[in-house]
Structure 1
């Protein structure tokens, strides 16, 4: 299961978070842990260079894209290899929505569409869609024409 997907800015403020199967009392711990992990390790990392960590028997894959840090946390079948596919799909969708690696301002301007993409990629803790064209089609906010 994919436990969490978080986006943070360079100062460590959470821009978007999605938790699945994580109790509310543990979420603060995960937020602070992931932001600290990024602050310690993401300095000087190139865009989309993946870093991997393991904490409390879960896997964490994280990267930086423009001014935004992206963290994906998973367990069981979602090991570092599966999470790398998830984060690749997420970074690809964010770049498509923003037009390039985002600044924090551009990311916040496109917040709604990024949230829609994220909901189409990860649904209830499982990877739902990885195809770029399908995700674009699903976030158009038009009624479906094919049944």
Structure 2
């Protein structure tokens, strides 16, 4: 599993909004400036999050973005699935290639399935609030 910039930036935006949730709606420009991401690229990511009801967005004067729920109610796994589409480590587990005809005799499918379960379990156990509270520059660990 390789997480793209879209997934990584989405997580950074979620943490940014969590840190500034008391400030009301946060304009796109402020988020883009703080995260050093182009507004155009960020707008694409934010539209995905708004479409999936993770954020609310409003245009115009006084507009901006905010979280729809408390940061503790969003998991890293949830956000990455929205932006990446899948967390599966191999194509035969992501549901897009149909049932593999070799599944019954494949010596590696069990290992890939367990890895998929570990990845999902770990990422579904880390919330945006956990990331917000984690010391900067350190890896998040359980």
Using the size of structure 2 for normalisation, the TM-score is 0.33
Higher helix proportion (structure 1 or 2): 2
Q: Which has the greater radius of gyration?
A: 2
Give the number of the structure whose residues are more often strand, by fraction.
Answer: 1
Where relative contact order (Cα < 8 A, 6+ residues apart) is larger, the structure is 2
Calculate the TM-score normalised by the size of structure 1. 0.32
